[in-house]
Amino acid sequence: MFLENKIPVGILGATGTVGQRFVQLLADHPWFEIVAVTGSPRTVGRPYGEGVLWKVPGELPAHIAELIVQPTEPNLDIPGNPPIVFSALPTAEAKEWEPQFAAAGYAVFTNASSFRMTDYVPLLIPEVNPDHTALIPQQQAHYNWPGFIVANANCSTTSAILPLKVFQEAFGLEAAIMTTLQAISGAGYPGIASLDIMDNVVPYIGGEDKKLENEPKKLLGSVVDGELTYADIRLSAQANRVPVIDGHLASVSVKLSRPVSVAEAIAALEDWEPAPIYAELPSAPQRPLIYRHEPDRPQPRLDRDVENGLPWIVGKVVECGVLDIRYMALTHNTLRGAASGSVLNAELAVAQGYIKTGAMVGLTAVPA
C-alpha cells in the first residue's frame, strides 16, 4: 500500500530513550511524519535538539531538532482521523495521560505497560495476533471515547513469543518455562549502576516475571465477536539482567499437545509465514523469523541488528528432558521490543483501516 501524502504524528515523552528511538524510526518513515513532540517541564518550550540528551546511535535529524517541545496534554495540533500519537511515557504518566488522549480522539500506540492487560485494549504484535485489532471498536464503545489505545508487549515477552505462537498453531501449546537474559538498555538511561551490573548477573527485574507469565496468555488468546478469550496455557518465568547493552535472549522449554520431533519443530519455525496483510507494512522485515542452525546462535552481539533489529532470531531447538522442546530466541529490546513494535502496530492499524487515509486528512491509499 502506498500513501500519496504522509500521516502527521506526535511522540509523547520524546526525550527519553524509547522516545528517541521513535524519533529515529519516524524521521524518514514512508507513511508517517513527526509534527509534534512532548516532554517534561524541563524541556517544554525549548527546541527538541536543546532539550534532548541524544543517546541512540546516529545523528539527531535536523528537522526534528527544530520542533518545539510541547506539554503532554491532549490538545496537540495533529491533523488526522484519528490523529496518531506514539507514547514513550513512563508507566505513571502513561496511566494518567493515555486515556485522556484516547478520550480526546487520538489513536495512542503505547510502549508503556499501564494498559497492556486492560479489557478491550489490544496487546498487539502484528506477527502474532493481527486480528486482535478487532477489539478497537469494542474499546471505543466500552469506554465511550472516540480514540483508542493499542499497546505493544513487554520487551521480555516479545523475545519469547513468536516461537510460542508457531508451536501453538502447529502442535498445540500447553505450558512453557521461560528464562530471560535481558540487556541493560531495557532499564532506560542512566540505567543500572555500573558496579551493580559489571561482572555480575542480577536475577531480579521488578514486575518482569509476572509480565512474562501473563502477557503471552493475552497475546495467544482468540478474539471472537469482539470478545477476547485468553489462551489456556501454564507459564513460569525467571527474568535476569545481564551486562549486554542491547538484545534480550530467552531460553524457553515448552509442553506441546502431542509428541513432536526436533526436526518437526524446526520445520514449523522455518515454514511459518505471517498473515498476508503483513507484506503491506513498510517497516516489516523480509524475514520476521530467522532460524540459525549453528550450535552457538543466537547471540546478542552477532544477531540483534539483523534487518534493522526487527526479526526474531531463533536457534538451539532440542529435546527437553523435562517438557518436550527447548529453544533460544533473541530480539532487539529497544527496537522490536519497544519503539519498532509500536510503529509496526500503527502501520497495521492503517493497513486495516482503523486510521483513515482518505479525503478527511488529504491522504489516499493507493495499492502498491
Domain boundaries, the chain: 2-152+338-366, 155-332
Residue for grid cell 516489516: 284
pTM tops 0.85, yes or no? yes
The pLDDT assigned to 134 comes to 97
174, containing H or E segment = strand 173-182
Residues facing 331 on adjacent strands: 248
The pLDDT assigned to 190 comes to 84
- For the chain, how are helix, strand and coil distributed in percent, rounded to 5? 35, 25, 40
Set 248, 293, 320, 332: catalytic member: 248
The pLDDT assigned to 119 comes to 93
- pLDDT per residue rounded down to tens, the chain (368 residues): 666 789 999 999 999 989 999 999 999 999 999 999 999 999 999 999 999 999 888 999 999 999 999 999 999 989 888 899 999 999 999 999 999 999 999 999 999 999 999 999 999 999 999 999 999 999 999 999 999 999 999 999 999 999 999 999 999 999 999 999 999 999 988 889 999 999 999 999 999 999 999 999 999 999 999 999 999 999 999 999 999 999 999 999 999 999 999 999 999 999 999 999 999 999 999 999 999 999 999 999 999 999 999 999 999 999 999 999 999 999 999 999 999 999 999 999 999 999 987 533 333 333 33
Q: Are 50 and 15 within 8 A, CB to CB?
A: no
Q: CA angle, corner 167, sides to 164 and 168, nearest 5?
A: 80
320 catalytically annotated: no
**Closest of 163, 327, 334 to residue 247, by C-alpha:** 334
Gap between the Cα atoms of 198 and 17, Å rounded: 21
**Closest of 252, 227, 226 to residue 239, by C-alpha:** 252
The pLDDT assigned to 302 comes to 98
Residues facing 110 on adjacent strands: 87, 151
Gap between the Cα atoms of 31 and 155, Å rounded: 25
Set 155, 293, 320, 332: catalytic member: 155
- Cα Rg, the chain, nearest whole Å: 20
Gap between the Cα atoms of 347 and 130, Å rounded: 11
CATH of 2-152+338-366, one of 2.60.260.20, 3.40.50.720, 3.90.1150.10, 3.60.10.10: 3.40.50.720
The pLDDT assigned to 188 comes to 85
318, containing H or E segment = strand 312-319
Gap between the Cα atoms of 361 and 368, Å rounded: 20
The pLDDT assigned to 282 comes to 97
The pLDDT assigned to 2 comes to 62
Considering the segment(s) 155-332 as one domain, its CATH architecture is 2-Layer Sandwich (3.30)
The pLDDT assigned to 197 comes to 96
132 catalytically annotated: no
Gap between the Cα atoms of 339 and 86, Å rounded: 9
